[in-house]
Amino acid sequence: MKINRVILREIRLPLVELFETSFGRTQERRVLLVEIHGGGTVGWGECVAGEGPFYSEETVDTAWLILTQLILPRIVQWSFESPTEFPELCRDIRGHRMAKGCLEAALWDLQAQDLHLPLWKLLGGTREKIACGVSIGIQTSPAALLEKIEQELQDGYQRIKIKVKPGWDVDIVRQVREHFPEIPLMVDANGAYSLEDADHLRQFDDFDLLMIEQPLSYDDLLDHSKLQAQIETAICLDESIRHARDAAHACEVQACKIMNIKMGRLGGPSEARRVHDLCQEQGIPVWCGGMLETGIGRAHNIALSTLENFSLPGDVSAGKRYYKRDTVVPPVEVTADGFIIPPQASGLGYEPDRPWIDELTVRSENFPDSRQSRGL
């Protein structure tokens, strides 16, 4: 298939409520969306880079720069048989995985539509329903957190993840466990601790957690392996895994027992699938992480989560938890018992809400012709 036209745009969408992690707060999302036209159809992708370089080095603005200056000019008039050829086209560009990943994701959507297949089937998925968990940001008080958990459980979510940081950790988890002795519970530190905190972190072993996610530095494997040898709770790696080679090294040094897969962090669906397969061979279960995606990114996560080794509930949840009006119709919904059913329609299976997306757009660029910038 040949690519005729690509449109990159930035939209701004307010979150229903502020989301706080160990590295800051988010109230409004700036999101890049890409649409690729080819073969009489349109594929969509969403870049998960944040406003600032806090989760990873990439930001909305670095992704915009790399996409408009380097990647999009290459992709126009490019012909491909499989989206798996895309990483080779950008191999000389180091890093910038979130920028690359949204393009590759859009190519997968495009091809799935061209073949009249649901994207999840094209990816090789087999799961007919996705188990959903939620990620709860740092709250203003323990009481507010308990109330929030109660509400999410009532909505059917199967696993609760709470963000922790020094000063909001062991005592908070103890209170949560006292109130909810049985629920599947985990914590995510987003790299807020160091190996010197091993004794402190060992206290989490008292709470029967599913896992502790990324306790140590965002770029570390070795200290995590030392920590895993000292604590019972399974370590799950998120930020530390940038590609399949990191995943292989993490397995080799036993730095974790579980992995979080985010296609943006890994540079696209191909690499995400590679990490999934490698983990499956190594007996490491995986789950799909979230990046406050709007509906388009969320739909891609649903498709990815149908792969067999996504055996733990992920952070893929209903769009309404994050946005009053999402970028797709119908919005992503969760069943009363906490599942998302992958759609049977071809491609993403959720329709981008174009009039709404147009309204939210603050700048856009068109390739190959009539480059235009709006607003900002």
SS3 assignment for the chain: CEEEEEEEEEEEEEEEEEEEECCEEEEEEEEEEEEEEECCEEEEEEECCECCCCCCCCEHHHHHHHHHHHHHHHHCCCECCCHHHHHHHCCCCCCCHHHHHHHHHHHHHHHHHHCCCEHHHHCCCCCCCEEECEEECCCCCHHHHHHHHHHHHHCCCCCEEEECECCECHHHHHHHHHHCCCCCEEEECCCCCCHHHHHHHHHHHHHCCCCEECCCCCCCCHHHHHHHCCCCCCEEECCCCCCHHHHHHHHHCCCCCEEEECHHHHCCHHHHHHHHHHHHHHCCCEEECCCCCCHHHHHHHHHHCCCCCCCCCECCCCHHHCCCCCCEECCCCCCCCCEECCCCCCECCCEECHHHHHHHEEEEEEECCCCCCCCC
- Closest distance between Mg ion and the C-beta of residue 134, in Å? 13
Residue 271: Cβ within 10 Å count: 24
Q: Active site residue: 100, 163, 226, 320, which one?
A: 163
Candidate ranges 43-51, 138-146, 182-190, 328-336; the one touching Mg ion (CB under 5 A): 182-190
Q: Toward Mg ion, which CB reaches closer, 289 or 349?
A: 289
CA–CA separation, 43 vs 14, rounded Å?
24
Largest CA distance in the chain: 61
Candidate ranges 6-14, 59-67, 107-115, 206-214; the one touching Mg ion (CB under 5 A): 206-214
Residue whose pair of structure tokens reads 């660029």 in the numeric block: 365
Q: Toward Mg ion, which CB reaches closer, 55 or 64?
A: 55
Q: Toward Mg ion, which CB reaches closer, 90 or 212?
A: 212
Pattern of binders to Mg ion over 207-246, x per CB under 5 A?
A: ------x------------------------x--------
Q: Toward Mg ion, which CB reaches closer, 131 or 328?
A: 131
Q: Active site residue: 100, 161, 165, 262, which one?
A: 262
Residue pair 16/23 in contact by the 8 Å Cβ criterion: no
- Closest distance between Mg ion and the C-beta of residue 70, in Å? 28
218 phi and psi angles, rounded to 5 deg: -60, -20
Q: Toward Mg ion, which CB reaches closer, 42 or 132?
A: 132
- Closest distance between Mg ion and the C-beta of residue 290, in Å? 9
- Closest distance between Mg ion and the C-beta of residue 190, in Å? 6
Q: Toward Mg ion, which CB reaches closer, 50 or 342?
A: 50
Residue 326 touching Mg ion (CB under 5 A): no
Which residue lies nearest Mg ion, judged by its C-beta? 238
Candidate ranges 43-51, 69-77, 78-86, 181-189; the one touching Mg ion (CB under 5 A): 181-189
Number of residues lying near Mg ion (CB under 5 A)? 3
Q: Toward Mg ion, which CB reaches closer, 262 or 274?
A: 262
Mark whether 165 is an active-site residue: no
Residue 188 touching Mg ion (CB under 5 A): yes
Q: What is the dihedral of CA 128, 151, 262, 296, to 10 degrees?
A: 70
- Closest distance between Mg ion and the C-beta of residue 303, in Å? 20
- Closest distance between Mg ion and the C-beta of residue 289, in Å? 6
* Contacts to Mg ion from residues 4-33, by CB under 5 A: none
Candidate ranges 41-49, 104-112, 185-193, 298-306; the one touching Mg ion (CB under 5 A): 185-193
Pattern of binders to Mg ion over 129-168, x per CB under 5 A?
A: ----------------------------------------
Pattern of binders to Mg ion over 333-352, x per CB under 5 A?
A: --------------------
- Closest distance between Mg ion and the C-beta of residue 262, in Å? 8
Mark whether 121 is an active-site residue: no
Return residues touching Mg ion (CB under 5 A). Answer: 188, 213, 238
Give me the active site residues, please.
163, 262
